[in-house]
């Protein structure tokens, strides 16, 4: 029966075909059960919810429940809800010309009833693809009952010379126009309480009432909602009677493992740019980018009620790529390896998506972002290398050749746009650095080895073994003690000058 939409165009042909009319919730249940039996991926591209959120959604659909996804920003709530349309039949028949896609076997609008009464088995049938059976509305303060349910259209009445009591003058809202489909309201608490009241009949009695008409039209629709817990108190609320009518409340969450976050960012970030420049990024740098989100979600400077969206690491990855890409363009290189300098160029992605608490505002958005990136670098580094702050003699000895080289007055200057040749030359000049990396990092490619060396210098700075002057477009690494003495000497010189 998969090709019925190509063969059937009248009501009689539909009756003879054996097609059965199902409610949208029965249809979703039937297709969900079939999908579970067949195995495979039910929600492609949704990662990290395999054992938590997705089973609950399956249970809700199999129970024929309306649902709400409750979670902080950037937890794929809307994406999940939009994917539900794939559990509908590919095509369904409806009375041709019907605005609300009337079921030919159960017509509810006056237009469809009149058409079937007039033409009988010769009534024309059209077919609707499932992609058109999804409706969505972002709850904004200006949303009205007419937008969602419908109202009288006086212009239609005047144009067609109809009485205002005629059902044909109804201008149906979004929900009736999604009849026999899925309708989603995003950010439900932002919907004014008086508008939420208009949804009560749909949720319980499964019908709508339109102002001025003594009719109750049965609507076949599966309702779903999304909301952010923060909005319950900050911007609005869900009225109790409506909350009571929502059958399943499903709590979403951020990735629980770094590896899951890395997969999501890799999947969503724009990295395949089809350009002449080949940008490479080590797995450890991908982990650093993802670690920034995990650090931010534990930071005392960040408002945790607002959350830290997964969109932050996606845009951060794209900015890191662009930084490496720009350097290659400036140096007329055909390839680029992501460096620590590029990691710090993702600061705009952080400052634009992190809600600071008072202490964070005092520190400043850029300082907080640098602090979070530094902690992420340090945490990731210590998964591979021994803790530089360890008191164990063998660990101290491991970093000693590098710190001794800097103690001799040597320094490493790494401008953001330093060419590959000069970048490698600067890192090769540090005694013991390559040996330290080679000992702990196996199977690293030649270019990747240098990005590890760069990471080690930054991590040593984060652990107070090296000093770093962080200028606008370059980083200068020097000896920690030498830098301190230089600062003291500078202060003394100023004192002498004042005298």
**41 burial level (CB within 10 Å; 0-12, 13-18, 19+):** exposed
User: What is the rounded distance in angstroms from the CA atom of residue 57 to the CA atom of residue 80?
Assistant: 9
Instruction: Give residue 231's pLDDT.
Output: 60
**In whole angstroms, how far apart are CA 136 and each of 12, 26, 181, 412, 415?**
34, 21, 11, 55, 49
Q: Where are the alpha helices (DSSP H) in 63-199?
A: 77-83, 110-119, 145-148, 154-160, 174-177, 193-197
pLDDT value of position 273: 86
Contacts 24+ apart (CB under 8 A), 51-58: 52/253, 53/80, 53/250, 53/251, 53/252, 53/253, 56/248, 56/250, 57/84, 57/250, 58/32
Which residues fall within 8 angstroms of residue 495, CB to CB, at 6 or more apart? none
User: 456 phi and psi, to 5 degrees?
Assistant: -60, -45
Contacts of 296 (CB under 8 A, 6+ apart): 302, 308, 312, 350, 354, 372
What pLDDT does residue 118 have? 96
CB of 24 within 8 A of CB of 221? yes
* Predicted pLDDT at 482: 65
User: Residue 156 has what pLDDT?
Assistant: 74
Region label for 182, one of left (φ > 0), alpha (ψ between -120 and 50) or beta (otherwise): beta
Q: Could you tell me which residues come within 8 angstroms of residue 258 by beta carbon, excluding any fewer than 6 positions away?
A: 287, 290, 291, 294
The pLDDT value given to residue 165? 65
Give me the pLDDT at residue 282, please: 95
Q: Tell me the average confidence (pLDDT) per consecutive run of 10 residues in the chain, 499 residues long.
A: 83 94 97 94 95 97 97 94 97 96 94 95 96 95 90 77 72 93 95 91 83 77 92 69 94 96 96 87 97 96 90 97 96 95 96 88 90 97 94 91 95 96 96 94 88 97 94 89 56 43
- What is the pLDDT, as a whole number, of residue 449? 94
The pTM for the full model equals 0.87
């Amino acid at each position: 029966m998969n090709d019925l939409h190509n063969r059937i165009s009248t009501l009689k042909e539909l009756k003879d075909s054996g097609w059965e009319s199902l409610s949208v919730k029965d249809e979703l249940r039937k297709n969900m059960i079939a999908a579970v039996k067949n195995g495979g991926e039910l929600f492609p591209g949704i990662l990290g919810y395999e054992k938590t959120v997705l089973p609950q959604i399956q249970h809700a659909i199999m129970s024929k429940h309306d649902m709400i996804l409750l979670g902080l920003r950037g937890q794929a709530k809307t994406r999940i809800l939009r994917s539900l349309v794939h559990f509908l039949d590919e095509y369904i028949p409806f009375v041709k010309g019907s605005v609300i896609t009337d079921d030919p076997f159960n017509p509810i609008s006056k237009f469809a009833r009149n058409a079937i009464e007039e033409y009988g088995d010769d009534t024309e049938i059209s077919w609707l693809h499932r992609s058109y059976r999804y409706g969505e509305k972002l709850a904004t303060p200006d949303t009205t009952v007419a937008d969602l349910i419908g109202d009288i259209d006086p212009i239609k009445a005047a144009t067609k010379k109809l009485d205002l009591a005629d059902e044909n003058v109804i201008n149906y809202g979004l929900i009736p126009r999604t009849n026999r489909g899925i309708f989603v309201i995003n950010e439900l608490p932002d919907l004014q309480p008086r508008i939420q009241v208009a949804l009560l009949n749909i949720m319980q009695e499964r019908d709508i009432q339109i102002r001025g008409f003594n009719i109750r039209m049965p609507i076949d629709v599966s309702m779903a909602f999304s909301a952010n817990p923060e909005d319950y108190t900050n911007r609005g609320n869900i009225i109790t009677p409506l909350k009571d009518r929502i059958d399943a409340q499903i709590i979403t969450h951020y990735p629980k493992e770094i590896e899951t976050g890395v997969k999501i960012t890799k999947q969503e970030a724009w990295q395949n740019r089809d350009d002449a420049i080949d940008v490479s990024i080590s797995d450890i740098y991908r982990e650093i980018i993802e670690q920034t989100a995990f650090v931010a979600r534990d930071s005392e400077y960040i408002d945790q009620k607002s959350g830290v969206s997964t969109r932050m690491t996606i845009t951060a990855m794209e900015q890191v790529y662009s930084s490496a890409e720009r350097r290659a363009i400036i140096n007329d290189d055909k390839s680029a390896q992501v460096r620590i300098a590029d990691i710090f160029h993702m600061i705009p992605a952080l400052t634009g998506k992190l809600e600071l608490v008072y202490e964070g505002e005092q520190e400043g958005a850029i300082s907080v972002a640098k602090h979070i990136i530094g902690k992420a670098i340090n945490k990731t580094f210590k998964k591979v290398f021994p803790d530089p702050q360890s008191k164990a003699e063998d660990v101290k000895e491991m970093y000693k050749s590098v710190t001794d080289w800097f103690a001799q007055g040597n320094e490493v200057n790494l401008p953001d746009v330093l060419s590959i040749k000069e970048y490698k030359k600067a890192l090769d000049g540090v005694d013991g650095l390559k040996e330290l990396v080679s000992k702990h990092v196996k199977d690293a490619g030649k270019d990747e080895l240098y990005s590890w060396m760069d990471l080690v210098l930054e991590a040593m700075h984060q652990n107070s073994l090296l000093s770093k002057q962080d200028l606008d477009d370059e980083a200068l690494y020097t000896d920690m003690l030498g830098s301190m003495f230089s600062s003291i000497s500078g202060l003394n010189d100023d004192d002498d000058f004042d005298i």
